[in-house]
Homo-oligomer: A and B are copies of this chain.
Amino acid sequence: MADVARQAGVSTATVSFVLNGTKAVTPEVRRRVEHAVKQLGYRPSHAAQTLRTGRSLAVGLIIPDLTNPFFPKLAQDVEQEARARGYTVLLADSHDDAELQRQHLETLEQRGVDVLLVVPAVGTTGTLRAGVPLIALDRSVGQTPLIQSDKWQGGALAARHLTDLGHREIAVLAGPDRNGVAGERVRGMTETLAASGVVLKEQRMYHSEYSVEAGRAGAHRLLEMAPGFTALLAANDTLALGALSALNDSGVSVPDDVSLVGFDDISWAALSSPGLTTVRQDTRQMARQAIEQALAPEAAAARLAVVDTTLVVRGSTAAPRTAAPRVLAGGRA
Chain A contact residues, CB within 8 Å of chain B: 43-48, 50-51, 56, 58, 66-67, 69, 72-73, 75-76, 79, 88, 90-93, 106-107, 109-112, 212, 241-242, 244-245, 248, 267-268, 271-273
Q: A66's contact among B47, B75, B111, by CB below 8 Å, is which?
A: B75
| Residue in A45, A66, A75 with the greatest tally of chain B CB atoms within 10 Å | A66
14 chain-A/chain-B pairs, Cβ below 8 angstroms = A44-B110, A45-B110, A46-B110, A46-B112, A47-B51, A51-B51, A66-B73, A66-B76, A67-B73, A88-B107, A242-B271, A244-B271, A245-B273, A248-B273
Q: Please state if A90 and B93 are interface contacts (CB–CB under 8 Å).
A: no
Q: Which residue of B lies closest to A61 (CB)?
A: B91
Given contacts A47-B50, A69-B69, contact A212 B271 (CB under 8 A): yes
Q: A79's contact among B73, B93, B106, B271, by CB below 8 Å, is which?
A: B93
| Residue in A79, A91, A107, A244 with the greatest tally of chain B CB atoms within 10 Å | A91
A238 CB to closest chain B CB (Å) equals: 9
Given contacts A50-B47, A51-B47, contact A88 B73 (CB under 8 A): no
A240 CB to closest chain B CB (Å) equals: 11
How many copies the complex holds: the figure is 2
CA of A48 to CA of B47, assembled, Å: 7
Given contacts A93-B79, A271-B241, contact A112 B66 (CB under 8 A): no
Residues of B within 8 A of A43 (CB): 106, 109-110
Instruction: Using A72-B72, A88-B92, A91-B91 as known contacts, list a sample of 10 further A-B pairs with CB atoms less than 8 Å apart, ordered by residue number in A.
Output: A46-B110, A46-B112, A47-B50, A47-B56, A66-B73, A67-B76, A75-B93, A241-B271, A244-B271, A268-B268
Q: Which residue of B lies closest to A108 (CB)?
A: B88
CA of A73 to CA of B50, assembled, Å: 32
Residues of B within 8 A of A241 (CB): 268, 271
CA of A106 to CA of B44, assembled, Å: 11
Residues of B within 8 A of A271 (CB): 212, 241-242, 244-245, 268, 272
A81 CB to closest chain B CB (Å) equals: 13
Q: Please state if A112 and B45 are interface contacts (CB–CB under 8 Å).
A: yes
A221 CB to closest chain B CB (Å) equals: 18
CA of A51 to CA of B56, assembled, Å: 13
Residues of B within 8 A of A45 (CB): 51, 110, 112
Residues of B within 8 A of A73 (CB): 66-67
CA of A107 to CA of B57, assembled, Å: 11
In the complex, the 10 A-B pairs of residues with the closest C-beta atoms, listed nearest first: A66-B72, A47-B50, A47-B51, A91-B91, A46-B111, A47-B47, A46-B110, A245-B271, A72-B72, A66-B76
Residues of B within 8 A of A51 (CB): 45, 47-48, 51
A150 CB to closest chain B CB (Å) equals: 25
Residues of B within 8 A of A109 (CB): 43
CA of A271 to CA of B269, assembled, Å: 11
